[in-house]
Amino acid sequence: MATKKIKVNDFYQKNYTYELSEKEGQNFDVDFKPDLTPKQMLELGVFGGKYLDGEHGEFPKEWFKKASLSESGKYEKEKNFFKVKASQSLEEWQRKGWIYKEDPRGWFQWYCRYYTGRRIPKEDQRQIKRWKAMTRHIAQIGRNCEPRDLLCRPVQRQAVLHWAYDSRKI
């Protein structure tokens, strides 16, 4: 596949360019098997509907047609699938060193860009390692809830959903 350049100029990144070297949704690392696509996550309801703050021109328009997005410009827990808040602030992510300069909005921005075909091997491995660490939450839901009891541990289920695991199936 010939590479395609994506130019980003938004609130978080000025004059940032990256290349898509893979086809959308294909050729993922063998250890990375998300249950949900970014489009599915946005439709289900994640990050209080506010994650991309209306700046999503770099991603396919199709992803946003049925997305559960904030209309107020503020985090709205009602936009989340489980109707609970399950996120830390961007400032907290920055304080903990979870933010990489290429993706100033964090993991989901990385996933959206990875899904569309961008590859940064060292950063991809770091983010995949973080994604795999979420299995501890899946195990806790499994140990403490009846299968598919969506009322059990809704905050933890929403958090797992934020990491592309389909917590409705646990």
Rg (CA), the chain: 16
Residues 149, 68, 164, 133, Cα dihedral to 10°: -80
pTM for the whole thing?
0.94
CB atoms closer than 10 angstroms to residue 62 = 9
For the segment 148-167, what is each residue's pLDDT rounded down to a tens digit?
A: 999 999 999 999 999 999 99
Distance CA 29, CA 17 (A): 23
Q: What ranges make up the beta strands (E) of the chain?
A: 4-8, 16-20
For the segment 27-53, what is each residue's pLDDT rounded down to a tens digit?
A: 999 999 999 999 999 999 999 998 877
Distances in Å between the alpha carbon of 160 and those of 8, 10, 33, 82?
A: 28, 28, 14, 11
How much is the pLDDT for 2? 65
